[in-house]
């Protein structure tokens, strides 16, 4: 049975929305969003506002090495700060989504500045028209170098980017020919970066010498662009990159491909992407819903997601906890519950490293195909890491968020006696209205009973609450979103 607020809003539904469109929520955040009603909560998520709970100038001053031009763990940590503290979590969630689809790796690029500029571009364009996003992506220096488009010349094409924009980024295998790849690549000749020879050598030599990394600048070289006639996906003309992108965007295969990715990330785990040419979508109705929104709204990603979130398909009970949390979702969600990143600190490295150990190194996806997700996230080793991180983080009762949970439970029981059932229910609610199965709840209640008398006003009581929180975040349900 659903939990409702005083205003009658279904709190469990709001919690579901915030887990999918964000990284979960504290009890206070839940109440705040619930007070707006479901549609109001959606409006709040889509109208981003000021994200800067931890402004960038403070990070650059106090932890310069975690600023945006540094090496891999530091630049990943820079993004981790933003996700762990932002007031606009949907913006980070959509950036994380595109980082997975347009997987680009600092492992090759070496410098973090261009990677974080790409993430910033995802924040800015990630919910807009897919046309604009693909144009920005094609001009993005990190993507250009990641897929060697600086080596794509009018008299000697390099097909790497031309192939991947069709196969991995927009359409999927089976919707274009090898000739389309060549023509697409010709359209993107001349799309390069300034000072390409020197920047390429420095990247190859993996050196910040002599004066640190110089961030790359997109440059269009008309002399190196093949302006000849091309035939692409059945259309003929003197196409440049923008023309090719328009042809891609209006193709139904593109709408289906993007919708399936969104479904896989926001609705339920799908088949791994390489299987998509051979497996029908698990929920064709949900895909069609988003495809219709795509074509009715100038290829708008935001419109696709709005249509999904407003649908009964998304709101249904069956959808809840239907996905396995990615490592970043698990780590960031736990950090946001526990609090403690009001200030730039070196502690952030531990969170970034934890994601890495669980199989999702920020800014360093395993390949150009990105992370497969779903069951791939879970292995014996990663499960141990996930539980250790979550239980270790909520096990620190000095953290602001944990202290708030203890205080909140204490306020509910002013006489100091909490029975086992109430303790379990309170803890589940304060962890973001988490729902668990009957068997899990029974186990938690048995554990609570074994703790004996629980008075949250005392240190002993606080410790018992914290132990219960640790047990809950170690449960199967906490691994799901």
Verify binding: residue 61, other proteins, rule CB under 8 A.
yes
Q: Which of residues 156-185 bind other proteins (CB under 8 A)?
A: none
Taking the least distance from each CB to other proteins, the nearer of 78 and 264 is 78
Which CB sits closer to other proteins, 61 or 400? Answer: 61
Structure tokens at 23: 């990284």
Which is it for the CA torsion 306, 307, 311, 317, positive or negative? negative
Contact 365, 103 (CB under 8 A): yes
The residue to which tokens 């289906």 are assigned: 256
Question: Could you say whether residue 60 binds other proteins (CB under 8 A)?
Answer: yes
- Which stretches of 110-232 are DSSP H helices? 112-125, 130-139, 141-146, 160-164, 178-187, 196-204
Tell me whether residue 40 or residue 198 sits nearer to other proteins (CB atom). 198
Q: Give the pairing type, strands 230-232 and 218-220.
A: unpaired
Q: Is 71 in the site for other proteins (CB under 8 A)?
A: yes
Task: Indicate left, alpha or beta for 46 from its phi (over 0: left) and psi (-120 to 50: alpha).
Answer: alpha
452 lies in the site for other proteins, by CB under 8 A: no
Q: How far is CA 163 from CA 120, 126, 218, 290, in A?
A: 25, 22, 20, 25
Binding of residue 387 to other proteins (CB under 8 A): no
- Dist CA 419 CA 409 (whole Å): 12
Site string for other proteins, 91-120 (x = CB under 8 A): ----------------------x---x---
188-207 residues near other proteins, rule: CB under 8 A: 194-195, 197-198, 200-202, 205, 207
Q: What is the DSSP letter of 218?
A: E
Beta bridge partners of 231: 236
Q: Which long-range contacts (CB under 8 A, 24 or more apart) does 285-289 make?
A: 285/313, 286/259, 286/311, 286/313, 286/314, 287/256, 287/259, 287/260, 287/263, 289/313
Closer CB to other proteins, residue 53 or residue 58? 58
Q: What is the dihedral of CA 459, 464, 470, 474, to 10 degrees?
A: 170
Binding letters toward other proteins, positions 337-376, x by CB under 8 A: ---------x--x---------------------------
Cβ nearer to other proteins, comparing 8 with 197: 197
Q: Is 210 in the site for other proteins (CB under 8 A)?
A: yes
In the complex, minimum distance from the CB of residue 214 to other proteins, in angstroms, rounded to a whole number? 5
- Give the nearest distance from C-beta 349 to other proteins in angstroms: 7
The residue range among 44-52, 164-172, 209-217, 257-265 that interacts with other proteins, by the rule CB under 8 A, is 209-217
First CA to last CA across the chain, in angstroms? 19
Closer by beta carbon to other proteins, 20 or else 70: 70
Count CB atoms within 10 A of the CB of residue 306: 19
Q: Please tell me the count of residues contacting other proteins according to CB under 8 A.
A: 39
Contact range with other proteins by CB under 8 A, out of 25-33, 43-51, 59-67, 80-88:
59-67
The tokens of 401 are what?
């968020």
Q: What is the Cα–Cα distance from 328 to 362, expressed in whole angstroms? A: 8
Does position 208 interact with other proteins (CB under 8 A)? The reply is: yes
15 vs 24: CA distance, rounded Å: 7
User: Coil, helix or strand for 282?
Assistant: coil
Lay out the site mask for other proteins across 211-230 (x = CB under 8 A, - = otherwise): xx-xxxxxx-----------
- 93 vs 123 by CB, closer to other proteins: 123
**Contact letters (x/-) for other proteins, 295-334, by CB under 8 A?**
----------------------------------------
Query: Smallest distance, Å, CB 56 to other proteins?
Result: 9
Q: To the nearest whole angstrom, how small is the minimum distance from the Cβ of residue 216 to other proteins?
A: 7
Instruction: Read off the tokens for 93.
Output: 């969630």
Chain contacts with other proteins (rule: CB under 8 A): 57-58, 60-65, 67-71, 73-74, 113, 117, 194-195, 197-198, 200-202, 205, 207-212, 214-219, 346, 349
């Amino acid at each position: 049975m659903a939990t409702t607020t005083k205003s009658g809003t279904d709190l469990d539904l709001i919690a579901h929305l915030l887990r999918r469109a964000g990284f979960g929520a504290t009890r206070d955040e839940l109440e705040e969003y619930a007070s707006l009603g479901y549609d109001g909560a959606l409006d709040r998520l889509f109208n981003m506002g000021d994200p800067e709970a931890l402004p960038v100038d403070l990070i650059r001053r106090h932890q310069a090495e975690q600023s945006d031009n540094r090496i891999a763990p530091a630049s990943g940590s820079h993004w981790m700060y933003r996700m762990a503290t932002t007031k606009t979590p949907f913006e980070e969630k959509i950036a994380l989504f595109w980082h997975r689809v347009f997987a680009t790796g600092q492992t090759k690029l070496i410098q973090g500045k261009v990677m974080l500029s790409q993430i910033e571009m995802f924040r800015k364009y990630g919910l807009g028209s897919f046309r604009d996003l693909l144009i920005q992506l094609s001009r993005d220096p990190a993507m250009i170098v990641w897929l060697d488009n600086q080596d794509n010349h009018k008299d000697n094409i390099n097909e790497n980017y031309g192939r991947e924009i069709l196969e991995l980024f927009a359409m999927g295998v089976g919707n274009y020919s090898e000739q389309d790849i060549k023509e697409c690549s010709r359209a993107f000749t001349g799309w390069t970066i300034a000072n390409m020879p020197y920047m390429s050598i420095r990247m190859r030599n993996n050196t910040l010498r002599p004066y640190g990394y110089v961030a790359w600048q997109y440059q269009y070289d008309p002399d190196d662009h093949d302006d000849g006639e091309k035939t692409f996906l059945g259309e003929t003309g003197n196409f440049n990159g923008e023309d090719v992108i328009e042809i891609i965007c209006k193709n139904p295969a593109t709408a289906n491909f993007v919708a399936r990715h969104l479904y896989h990330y926001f609705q339920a785990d799908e088949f791994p992407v390489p299987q998509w040419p051979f497996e029908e979508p698990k929920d064709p109705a949900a895909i069609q819903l988003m495809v219709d929104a795509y074509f009715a709204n100038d290829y708008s990603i935001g419109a696709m997601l709005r249509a999904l979130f407003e649908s009964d398909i998304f709101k249904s009970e069956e959808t809840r906890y239907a996905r396995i949390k990615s490592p970043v979702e698990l780590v960031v969600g736990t950090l946001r519950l526990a609090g403690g990143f009001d200030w730039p600190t070196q502690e952030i490295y531990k969170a970034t490293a934890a994601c890495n150990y669980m199989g999702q190194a920020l800014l360093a996806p395993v390949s150009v195909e990105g992370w497969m997700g779903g069951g791939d996230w879970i292995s014996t080793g990663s499960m141990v890491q996930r539980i250790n991180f979550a239980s270790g983080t909520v096990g620190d009762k000095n953290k602001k968020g944990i202290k708030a949970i203890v205080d909140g439970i204490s306020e509910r029981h002013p006489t100091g006696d909490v029975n086992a059932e109430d303790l379990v229910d309170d803890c589940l609610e304060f962890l973001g209205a988490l729902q668990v199965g009957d068997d899990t709840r029974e186990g938690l209640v048995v554990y609570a009973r074994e703790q004996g008398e629980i008075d949250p006003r005392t240190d002993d009581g606080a410790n018992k609450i914290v132990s219960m929180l640790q047990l809950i975040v170690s449960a199967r349900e906490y691994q799901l979103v």
